[in-house]
Amino acid sequence: MTTNQRPRAETLIGLAQALLEKAALPPEKASLVAELLVEADLMGHTTHGLNLLAGYLGALDDGKMTATGDVEVIADHGSTLVWDGRYLPGVWLTAKAIDTAVARAESHGLASVSIRKSHHIACLATFLERATRHDMMVLLLSSDPAAASVAPFGGTRPVMTPNPIGIGIPTGGDPILIDVSASITTNGLSGRLAKEGKRFEHPWLLDGAGLATNDPAVLQADPPGSILPIGGLDHGHKGTAIGLWVEVMTQALAGFGRADGADRWGASVFVQVIDPKAFAGRDAFVRQTGWLAEAVTSNPPRPGVEAVRLPGQRGLQKKREALQNGVDLYPGILDSLRAEALKRDVPWPTALG
């Protein structure tokens, strides 16, 4: 451990990789999944980092996450591909999709990959720099056709998932990293608060009767409640529209979704990478995005706000600090890792005490 009792990123990656390999995930997949889960914790996305590892290990144990093999290519038209992910690790699949799209965008100007039957893909923000470091823009969308926790505006029956949207934008400096969802909050945070017996600060959910509440436990009630879309009771039609768009982009284009009765934890994914060189050029692109970034960060803050930030700015700063000073893990995550290590006879790193 470091002097401030925060574990080093490389120690956590090594432990996570060892646990995944013990659960029969091949080393090349285990190393990438471990790295990107820890990356989420580095950036402060504590519900979508190592917090997910126990669930992933369990899915490997029961065969609901496929450990070996590669994707099945359903269609390949050069600039567009459709993959059947065979429920392989979604973190590995998504990284592979972005890397493939980056390579193809070099030739085609833009490239898109639709993935059906992926396993869960964790934190969208962690993937975006795989494109922006090549001066390319990336769009990443995800939904889970086997789950529903968000009701459409005006309704009470959950139909969609929170449907996250990731966008990476090069600026000439730090990229803009957008990671939002079509709902006010997420399943991950709702589950964490419910487990801890806590409530949200605001009424961001509906109970089964359609009444607003801040109690995340309503999602597990009978009948189940739902998470409100972006805009809430006031303007939730906007979040519903965005959520429907994500469902179409991730499920309809891949040819597999809710209409097929998906029955296991997983994801439908859409990736698109755009190379500015194929449009007005890289320099013209970053001149505009750099100007926007500067206009945001130099904006006079309103009372009570220290500074106006770009999307992703705080996460990148957290990452730099964590790489230098150790990772600030959410309480209980290290205990969960220790339990998995004991269960699987994986040596506990001495650096973790």
- In the chain, the N- to C-terminal Cα span, in Å, equals 7
Percent of the chain with pLDDT strictly greater than 70: 99
**Spatial CA neighbour of 98 closest among 168, 176, 29:** 168
Peptide bond into 162 cis (omega under 30): no
**Total-model pTM:** 0.96
pLDDT at 2 over 50: no
Can you give the pLDDT at residue 156? 96
Can you give the pLDDT at residue 4? 53
Distance of CA 184 to the CA centre of its chain: 15
Backbone angles phi, psi at 206, to 5 degrees: -120, 145
Domain spans, the chain? 9-184+228-299+303-352, 185-227
- Yes or no: say if 163 and 156 are a contact pair by the CB < 8 Å rule: no
Per-residue pLDDT tens digits for 147-204:
999 999 999 999 999 999 999 999 999 999 999 999 999 999 999 999 999 999 999 9
Mean pLDDT of the chain: 97
- DSSP-based three-state secondary structure for 319: helix
Question: What average pLDDT does the segment 230-235 reach?
Answer: 96
Per-residue pLDDT tens digits for 8-41:
999 999 999 999 999 999 999 999 999 999 999 9
Backbone angles phi, psi at 199, to 5 degrees: -130, 160
Can you give the pLDDT at residue 112? 98
**Spatial CA neighbour of 139 closest among 235, 34, 237, 253:** 253
CATH fold of 9-184+228-299+303-352 reads Ribosomal Protein S8; Chain: A, domain 1 (3.30.1370)
pLDDT at 258 over 90: yes
- Yes or no: say if 36 and 126 are a contact pair by the CB < 8 Å rule: yes
Percent of the chain with pLDDT strictly greater than 90: 98
Single-letter amino acid code for the residue at 58? G
**Spatial CA neighbour of 125 closest among 322, 324, 316, 326:** 316
Q: Does domain 185-227 have CATH number 3.40.640.10?
A: no
The whole-angstrom separation of Cα 171 and Cα 173 is 5
Residues 6+ apart with CB under 8 A from 63: none
Single-letter amino acid code for the residue at 102? V
